[in-house]
Amino acid sequence: MKMNSKDKTKQHFNNTAQNYNESHDGKFVAPMYDIIIDEIQKSESGKVLDVGCGNGNLFMMLPDEKYELHGIDFSENMIIEAKHYCKTKASFTVADAEKLPFEDNTFDIVVCNASFHHYIHPDTVLMEMQRVLKDGGKLLIGDPYVPSLVRPFINVLTKFSENGDYHFYGLEEMKKLFRKNGLTPVSALKTDEHTAFHIAEKI
């Protein structure tokens, strides 16, 4: 049976969970942590959700007892690693980004780092993120950046990706997605040659 992008993503991250930090994905995402941590720490406290949390690396960089931390990932092996790594510092749940297991208006900050390009229903995911954010809450998305000249070609090739890559977004494309799903774009910038960082708010 042929796997779709979602199945490939789950299999890929289940297979790489134990050695994620040394994997290509782990090394690619590591430089993105600092800008996200800096943005989170602009808030003195609050409830933070990491969607696609992986092995919990991001939470280990935040001060103890300053935030209430929750992470979800649909890779069971990643959640096992996150619980082992973070101990009692955060709460982790195996869950799908398309159906977040939280009440409306729960979180001050929602983070999604290097996983948004895997989602085959981005509108559904953004609506869920918007739903669980409190009014005035922030959404922080870090994701790979592909130059506009080659992005259409690369997005055709994603159908052959064994890692579950689905779609790479431009800066303006992400702003349109935010507006479409009840979020207000705040900023969008390239953080280096291959990554971008997006901030939106629930107004």
pLDDT value of residue 63: 86
pTM (2 d.p.)? 0.96
Q: What is the spatial distance between Cα 118 and Cα 189, in angstroms, rounded to a whole number?
A: 20
CB 97 within 8 A of CB 71: no
Q: What percent of the chain has pLDDT over 70?
A: 99
User: What would the two tokens of residue 101 be?
Assistant: 């297991």
Q: What is the spatial distance between Cα 62 and Cα 34, in angstroms, rounded to a whole number?
A: 10
Chain mean pLDDT for the chain: 95
Q: What is the pLDDT of residues 20-71, one digit of tens each?
A: 999 989 998 888 999 999 999 999 999 999 999 999 999 999 987 899 999 9
pLDDT surpasses 60 at 1: no
Cross-strand bridge partners of residue 46: 67
Cα angle vertex 56, ends 51, 59, to 5°?
Answer: 90
Tell me the domains of the chain and their CATH numbers.
Answer: 5-201 (3.40.50.150)
Q: What is the pLDDT of residues 152-169, one digit of tens each?
A: 999 999 989 989 999 999
Cross-strand bridge partners of residue 140: 111, 199
pLDDT value of residue 3: 80
